[in-house]
Chain A
Amino acid sequence: MMNRRSVLKAVFTGGLVAGMGVLMPRVAMAAWSKAAFEAGSQEAAMGALYSTNPSASAEVTLKAPDIAENGAVVPVSVKSSLAGVTSIALFVANNPQPLAAQFTIPEGTLANVSCRIRMGKTSDVTAVVTTASGVFSASKEVKVTIGGCGG
């Protein structure tokens, strides 16, 4: 895990000179962190990925519905106006495994991703954006309801 972190840090610090370091970040990007993805709590998952706690930022925009039509397919997008975004991660606090996805953003790719997540129940969804200067986040509560039309 320490290994993983130091590699990540190396990427973060090297983030701004990326582009020429095509091969180097690839190695770090490919790593799927078992510790983070299998963590049972958001705190543990974040701890496995970041060395500091993310700080809330208005420059991170998380788009998610107030009430999910269906918890099995919740459309979510994250974008950020911060400079030098190297990665974006999504957490669903109340899921059995809160870390949903991690997107590595190489230089030349916009800090703007969309995906669809699963939510077992009402929960805060948190987007965490990593840049050379720190770790930033935005959260939003998404309600998951039990419908009347099971069919």
Chain B
Amino acid sequence: MAKGILRAKAKVKGDNTVVKIMAKHAMETGNRKDTSGNKIPAKFIQTLSISYNGKTVMETNMGTAISKNPYLAFTFVGGAKGDELQMTWTENTGASATETAKIK
């Protein structure tokens, strides 16, 4: 039950699938200083792409102006209950992972 940083709620609504995703991430801007006055290095999610059945349905590039615990909601045509979404994120540090979520 190892969980990644992404949580998704994907629901079929009529002919469409509504997807809401939140990432557990501080989105450190690189502009902040710690208590001793040193700059906290930037560490944020740069890209998040979602695909369904091998087709990309959303691709997001994010900057430091995205809030902590980034949230994204969008809707695509199609999708079926029980199918999986693939969600791939990359960080500015180079870290990256692909996680999945079931459409409900």
Could you mark each residue 87-116 of chain A with 1 if its beta carbon is under 8 Å from any beta carbon of chain B, else 0? Answer: 000101001111111111110111011111
Q: Is the CB of B77 within 8 A of A110?
A: yes
Q: Is the CB of B61 within 8 A of A115?
A: no
Residues of A with C-beta under 8 A to B29: 96, 118
Bin chain A's interface residue count. Answer: 35 or more
Q: Is the CB of B65 within 8 A of A106?
A: no
Tell me the nearest residue of chain B to A92, going by C-beta.
B65
Main secondary structure of the interface of A (DSSP, over half): mixed
Count of A-B contacts with CB under 8 A?
Answer: 114
Does any Cβ of B come within 8 Å of A136's Cβ? no
Q: Say whether, besides A98-B65, A118-B65, A32 and B47 are in contact (CB < 8 Å).
A: yes
Residues of A with C-beta under 8 A to B73: 77, 113-115
Q: Say whether, besides A22-B55, A106-B55, A110-B77, A116 and B71 are in contact (CB < 8 Å).
A: yes
Residues of B with C-beta under 8 A to A118: 27, 29, 64-68
Residues of A with C-beta under 8 A to B63: 37, 97, 99-101
Distance in Å: Cβ of A50 to nearest Cβ of chain B: 14
Q: Is the CB of A97 within 8 A of B67?
A: no
25 chain-A/chain-B pairs, Cβ below 8 angstroms: A22-B55, A29-B49, A29-B59, A32-B46, A32-B47, A37-B61, A37-B64, A90-B65, A100-B63, A101-B60, A102-B60, A103-B58, A104-B61, A106-B58, A109-B58, A110-B16, A110-B75, A115-B60, A115-B70, A115-B72, A116-B70, A117-B66, A118-B65, A118-B66, A119-B65
What is B's interface to A at a CB cutoff of 8 Å?
16, 27, 29, 31, 46-47, 49, 54-78
